[in-house]
Amino acid sequence: SDAYVYSDLDIRHWDTWQNGNYSHVFYKKVGEEDSEGIDIMPDEPYYTPQKPFGGEEDYCWSPDGKSIYYVSKKLKGKDYAISTNTDIYKYNLETKETENITEENKGYDTNPAFSSGGALAWLQMKADGYEADKNDIVVLENGVKQNLTANWDGTVNSFLWAKNGEEIYFTAPVDGTIQLFKVNYPGKKRIAAVVEQLSEGQFDVTGIVAEKKKELLVTRTDMNHAAEVFRFNLKKKTFEQVTNVNTELYAALDLPKVEKRYVSTTDGKKMLVWVILPPDFDASKKYPTLLYAQGGPQSALSQFYSFRWNFQLMASQGYIVVAPNRRGMPGHGVAWNEDISKDWGGQVMDDYLSAIDEIAKEHYVDNDRLGAVGASYGGYSVFYLAGIHNNRFKTFIAHDGVFDTRSMYGTTEELFFVNHDFGGPYWEKENADAQKAYNEFNPITKVANWDTPILIYQG
């Protein structure tokens, strides 16, 4: 076995220890297939693709084949741990010189892709250290950069250039779903970029595969159906299912009913709540009911089909599931998305309780059998609710939950996250946001109030 001595941060990322090896992009020349390839980042101690989730979206060829564009966070040690400042680099195959084309932006720059006309688009977040910042589409052509979505109150998930090079199709969260959008690329024209929503419905468009003959091939899910491929007619704005991998299986199942509700929050806002009813739901009966707390904390609670937290499976066991789009989730405007930062135990906890209290008024909800479940930030929420729920719940389940925010600060490798969401380290006694995060909003300080069984599991 090997032993390592670390004298700086960046010792691991998630489940991978830093052992001095870095992923790089290589290329081979035609006719030299037996060669080891040419490293475009020779001797550089940086990653491409990025840790922990990066893939082929982190690099692309220029249309003329003379350059490779790639994403990297060229920082080391503590600087790497506290920053989200990835950049897009241009590597010239002939000169072997590298140019940083996004140096002025201090947040994430990711997903470079060229249009048929040679314009380069990518996704950009402005704030350094904020991993859930508004994600915009930026285009560079002839030395001029344009932010196409700067004035749109949303955040982009993924995109695909239209074949005409004049539009970009993209997916984005909206009102508890993920939908298709498009934005025009003005180029040299003196016109504004305008975002248009193309699809609407109780489903998620999880990816755009290709464009063909005025149609888009996309993948689509909902809470009852895993991903299938669909055609989307750009003129009629209609879907046609292409694959039927699980259709026969679904036909043999009694599927839950998914309802969209809206409840009022304690600060007078309207909040979307998904309510999943058991397959054999009978309104004359009473059902045990689960409050589902989403992780993230800035992730969308949309019409996803999860193999880990599967609402269909929960409901099939006879439970009603209440899944609120509480503060911090994208798809309800940038401000709603940002409201959870430095307020983990604040308004969002009232949002949870507003959701369960409103749905619990239904005569078919058994108020003597209410539970709360969640993972990651959802697990934090369960721990925190256990100390403030005032006998609402009879059981809790916490998966991979944050139990002690001080311990989290001292053990996480992504210091950028806790610096932003908690406001800084716990030893900054004059930092009001940080002190609230590590004291008032710390679940461990509420343990004296725990009076309800909690199932806790990690991994």
- Backbone φ and ψ for 419, nearest 5 degrees, come out as -60, -40
Exposure class string for 115-153: b at 16+ Cβ within 10 A, else e: beeebbbbbbbebbbbbbbbbbbbbbbeeeebebbeebe
- Backbone φ and ψ for 315, nearest 5 degrees, come out as -65, -35
Superfamily of domain 12-248: Dipeptidylpeptidase IV, N-terminal domain (2.140.10.30)
Beta 215-222 vs 109-114: how paired, if at all? unpaired
Beta 365-375 vs 287-293: how paired, if at all? parallel
Superfamily of domain 254-404+442-457: Alpha/Beta hydrolase fold, catalytic domain (3.40.50.1820)
SS percent in the chain: helix, strand, coil, step 5: 15, 30, 50
Reading the block at residue 438, the tokens are 């590590």
Rounded to whole angstroms, the Cα distance separating 155 from 137 reads 9
pLDDT at 242: 98
For the chain, the average pLDDT equals 97
Nearest to 436 by CA among 373, 345, 361, 356: 345
Nearest to 302 by CA among 188, 187, 408, 179: 179
Please tell me whether residue 72 adopts helix, strand or coil conformation: strand
Rounded to whole angstroms, the Cα distance separating 314 from 318 reads 7
Mind listing the pLDDT tens digit for each residue in 64-75?
999 999 999 999
Mind listing the pLDDT tens digit for each residue in 311-352?
999 999 999 999 999 999 999 999 999 999 999 999 999 999
Whether omega before 49 lies within 30 degrees of 0, making that bond cis, reads: yes
Could you say which residues of the chain have pLDDT below 70?
Answer: 1
Domain range annotation of the chain: 12-248, 254-404+442-457
In the block, tokens 């220890």 appear at 17
Reading the block at residue 201, the tokens are 């419905």
Which DSSP string do the residues of 226-245 spell out, in sequence order? Answer: EEEEEEEETTTTEEEE---S
pLDDT at 189: 87
Rounded to whole angstroms, the Cα distance separating 207 from 171 reads 7
Domains 12-248 and 254-404+442-457 share a fold: no
pLDDT at 1: 65
Rounded to whole angstroms, the Cα distance separating 14 from 437 reads 23
